[in-house]
Amino acid sequence: MHANLFWIAALLAVVVYCIAQAVRDFRAKRYGWAIAAAASAVVVLTIPWPTHAIKIDLPQR
Average pLDDT over every residue of 15-41: 97
| pLDDT bracket for residue 1 (50, 70, 90) | low
Q: pLDDT tens digit string along 33-61? A: 999 999 999 999 998 876 777 888 888 87
> What is the reported pLDDT for 53?
75
Domain ranges of the chain: 2-45
Residue 3: burial class (beta carbons within 10 Å; 0-12, 13-18, 19+): exposed
**49 or 14: which leads in pLDDT:** 14
**What H or E segment, with its residue span, contains residue 48?**
none
